Amino acid sequence: MNHARWKLARERRLAEGYTEPPEVTVEREQIRLAMELGQLVYDRRNELELTQDDLARRLGISADEVESIEVGGALPVTSDLLARLAAALGVGVDVHLAPSGSTAVSFDTHAA
């Protein structure tokens, strides 16, 4: 399946004057943030040479839940989740909130 077609269709609709409903825009941003967080968790877990089971024990959740986080399934991304991940992975978490509604998350390994 070619996901690029989806993006092109959306861009074409936007160029034609289509405006996404606000709730769709918010949901799209949440999904993007969850995927970004998932990649950070995966990268840090591998950097620490932890298995999903190891991280699950540190978080007090199942390995399936760790996998869900890593593939972007942690919706919504909450401050509680970020705090628990920071402690389990030995990192600081930086969250950038932009006036446009865009959010970015990053790990600071030197803050821990």
Residue 12 counted as domain residue: no
Which residues form the domain of 31? 21-108
Q: What is the pLDDT of residues 55-101, one digit of tens each?
A: 999 999 999 999 999 999 988 889 999 999 999 999 999 988 887 77
Q: How confident is the model at residue 6 (pLDDT cuts 50, 70, 90)?
A: low
Residue 30 counted as domain residue: yes
Token pair belonging to 4: 């690029």
Distance between CA atoms of residues 53 and 16, nearest Å: 48
Residue 63 counted as domain residue: yes
**How high is the pLDDT of residue 44?**
97
Residue 102 counted as domain residue: yes
Angle, vertex CA 81, rays to CA 77 and CA 87, nearest 5: 140
| CATH number of the domain to which 43 belongs | 1.10.260.40
Buried-exposed string 20-36: b where 16+ CB fall within 10 A, e elsewhere: eeeeeeeeeebeebbeb
Domain tally, the chain: 1
Angle, vertex CA 36, rays to CA 82 and CA 40, nearest 5: 65
Residue 15 counted as domain residue: no
Residue 10 counted as domain residue: no
Residue 80 counted as domain residue: yes
